[in-house]
Amino acid sequence: MALPSYMKQIDDTLYFNGDGELIYYVPKKYFDLNIANVNGEYVSVIGIFRYGLFDKSGKLLKLKDFKCPTVFKCKPSLINKVSKYHLDGTREPSDYRLLIFRKDDELISNLSVPMLTDNVEYFLQKLFIKGHLPTYIPYEELYEYVSINALANDFNFKVSNQIVGILISELCRNPKDLSQPFRYISSKSNKDYKMIRITEVPKYISPYTAITSENPDEAVAAALTTSGNNRSPLEKIMMS
């Protein structure tokens, strides 16, 4: 596949080749979770963010998704901080670190990204099952990030995409009513979902499931307030 005109590859490094700037909009949360780090002139970051291409007058030419869910290094000219910034395509404002690249800066310092199980762990444990993935990702594409991350790190989950889909269907909820999975609602946007932590899911299933989850204090409150008729067979036995 040919590179866009604003990128060029020399040996194993990808450079910015535009007259203006290219900006990575990296969620501040990545730095808080230690899956993005500044190491001298270089930044290590997991490639799940949006980036903007600007001309030399500062006009935004395009906003695209960086879809490389593994960790790589880059070398920006400048790093800026913005707070409560509403990036186009996202549901709500957030805090970002802007990695600003100018002509001949290294967009990807080494295209031969090491295959590490740590990168699988970073993605799964710190982003995916904790509900920290960016909200610009369409609902039906979420499973692709799991597959690409595993492939990029030579890892095999030994489960089908259907199993991953079941997990996604429980993590993604109706933002107006978290007790309702996103798949049940009629929405004009495939991005209008809210991901929750996997440990929050039990309290939205049934009182019994909630009270037997790993967060006892929160679970008791959820068990008392969970509405509806969702009951498990064990719950009926214990409460009869």
**How far is the C-alpha of 202 from the C-alpha of 219, rounded, in Å?**
8
Q: With respect to residue 1, please indicate whether it lies within any of the assigned structural domains.
A: no
Q: Are residues 100 and 155 located together in one domain of the fold?
A: no
Q: Does some domain include residue 180? A: yes
Domain span at 101: 7-108
One domain, residues 126 and 213 = yes
Residue 191: inside a domain, yes or no? Answer: yes
Both tokens of residue 6? 């604003």
Mark whether 104 and 122 lie in a shared domain. Answer: no
Q: Are residues 100 and 149 in the same domain?
A: no
Q: Could you tell me if 127 and 21 lie in one domain?
A: no
Q: Which of 74, 108, 142 is the last residue of a domain?
A: 108
Token pair 């869910």: residue: 69
The residue from 60, 79, 108 where one domain ends is 108
- pLDDT 10s per residue in the chain (240 long)? 688 999 999 999 999 999 999 999 999 999 999 999 999 999 999 999 999 999 999 999 999 999 999 999 999 999 999 999 999 888 889 999 999 999 999 999 999 988 999 899 989 999 999 999 998 999 999 999 999 999 999 998 888 888 999 999 999 999 999 889 999 988 888 999 999 998 888 777 655 555 555 565 555 555 555 555 555 554 554 444
**Listed residues 108, 125, 153: the one ending a domain:** 108
- Distance, in Å, from the CA atom of 166 to the CA atom of 90, rounded to the nearest integer, reads 24
Q: How many domains does the chain have?
A: 2
CA atoms within 13 A on the CB side of 19: 6
Do 127 and 77 lie in one domain? The reply is no
Tell me: do 134 and 100 sit in the same domain. no
Residues 200 and 218 in one domain: yes
Assess whether 79 and 53 both reside in one domain: yes
Assess if residue 2 is contained within a domain: no
Dist CA 94 CA 24 (whole Å):
14
